[in-house]
Amino acid sequence: MVSVTTRPPDGSGIAKVVPETMALPLPAASAIVRIEPSRGWLDLRLHEVWQYHELLYFFVWRNVKIRYKQTVIGIAWVILQPIMTMGVFTLFFGRLAKLPSDGLPYPVFYFAALVPWTYFSTALQNCTSVIVSNQHVITKVYFPRLVLPLSAVVSGLVDFAIGFVILLLVTAIYGIKPTLAALWLPLLLLLAMLTALGVGLWMSALNALYRDVNYVVPFIIQCWMFASPVAYPSSLVPQRWRWLYGLNPMAGVIDGFRWALTGHGVAPGPLMLASTVAVVVVLFGGLLFFQRMEGTVADRV
């Protein structure tokens, strides 16, 4: 008896050629990846994050898409929220409490602060929850987890851009022209981003370990808002406490925004340097802590 097995012809009949030059966000074919327990604290692996930059873009794109699909009002909410807050502040802090405003009309005064502040607070909040809310992905695929907090901080820029355009409109309506100092704005924004990222990395890693951190952050943000010149000018702070106040990077950012766009208020001074140093220290510490936790976060989440 003869055994017969025949293979049918391959249906596709097309030879697939995989080009060597495909840009892939993963190690090249011959690269060896070493897997081992976390060792040491100085294992930052930032070059790996760069390799995955396309994935970062995808996360940001996805966050933005989901955000705008989920709310019925969508983009309108991005505009409405700071405008409404500005309205409330103008009414209560401005008209009723009669807080000073550096000589600016109240709406401009508050809006100029709210745009960077809203960016910072949403970036920090999202950064804190990003690991936990992406747990279903983290437990299934590898990518440097640092991509997630980075995506949270970058996604906020889209809302910021929209808010900024409104801000320019508002200043134009009141006939206020930006000064040359407006060139400082990107740097100020960068400082806000790094602050959000620095604190966010700590919060994000802690939140993955202890789930209640997520509930503490809104409270921290509230306090932080009052410690920043959002609802009042920093000139209100007594001279001898000005140095402590200045350590808050967001104080420098908000003052800087107001000053750059309107020419009024307190120009960023040497205290900015101190707050920048503080931010760098917090950021560096956050990176170390985060990268250390990265290896086992998939077990805890």
Partner 1 sequence: MSAVVIKCEGLGKNYHRGAVQQSALLRDHLSRMMRSPLSLFRRPKDETFWALKDVSLEVREGEVVGLIGRNGAGKTTLLKILARITRPTTGGAEIRGRVGSLLEVGTGFHPELTGRENTYFSGAILGMSKREITRKFDEIVAFAELEKFIDTPVKHYSSGMYVRLAFAVAAHLEPEILFVDEVLAVGDAPFQKKCLGKMSEATSMGRTVLFVSHNMNAIEQLCRRVILLQSGVVNIDSSDVRSVVTKYMSGAAGERQPSVWVNYSDTFQNQYFRPIRMAIVDDSGKDLEMPVRNDDDVWVEIKGEVMTADPALTIGYAIFDERGKLLYWTYQTDQPQVDWPIIKPGIIQLKSRFPTRMLNEGKFRLEFLASLHFRTWLLEPGAGSPHIVLSIQGGLSDSPYWMAKRPGILAPVIRWQVSGEKDRFRAPG
The footprint of partner 1 (CB under 8 A) covers 1-8, 18, 22-27, 29-38, 54-55, 58, 61-62, 65-66, 69-70, 136-143, 206, 209-213, 216, 295-296, 298-300
177, 266 contact by CB (below 8 A): no
Q: How far is residue 131's CA from residue 171's CA, in Å, rounded to a whole number?
A: 38
Beta carbon of residue 32, minimum distance to partner 1 (angstroms, whole number): 5
**Residue 56 vs 253, nearer CB to partner 1:** 56
**Residue 35 vs 180, nearer CB to partner 1:** 35
Ramachandran bin of 297, using left for φ above 0, alpha for ψ from -120 to 50, beta for the remaining angles: alpha
Chain centroid offset of residue 257 CA: 17
DSSP H stretches of helix in 102-212: 106-133, 135-138, 147-173, 185-209
**Residue 133 vs 179, nearer CB to partner 1:** 133
Beta carbon of residue 272, minimum distance to partner 1 (angstroms, whole number): 32
Beta carbon of residue 238, minimum distance to partner 1 (angstroms, whole number): 33
122, 159 contact by CB (below 8 A): yes
Beta carbon of residue 25, minimum distance to partner 1 (angstroms, whole number): 6
Beta carbon of residue 12, minimum distance to partner 1 (angstroms, whole number): 10
**Residue 180 vs 212, nearer CB to partner 1:** 212
**Residue 13 vs 37, nearer CB to partner 1:** 37
Q: How far is residue 115's CA from residue 104's CA, in Å, rounded to a whole number?
A: 16
Q: How far is residue 180's CA from residue 261's CA, in Å, rounded to a whole number?
A: 9
Q: How far is residue 231's CA from residue 224's CA, in Å, rounded to a whole number?
A: 12
**Residue 208 vs 254, nearer CB to partner 1:** 208
Beta carbon of residue 125, minimum distance to partner 1 (angstroms, whole number): 17
Q: How far is residue 198's CA from residue 192's CA, in Å, rounded to a whole number?
A: 10
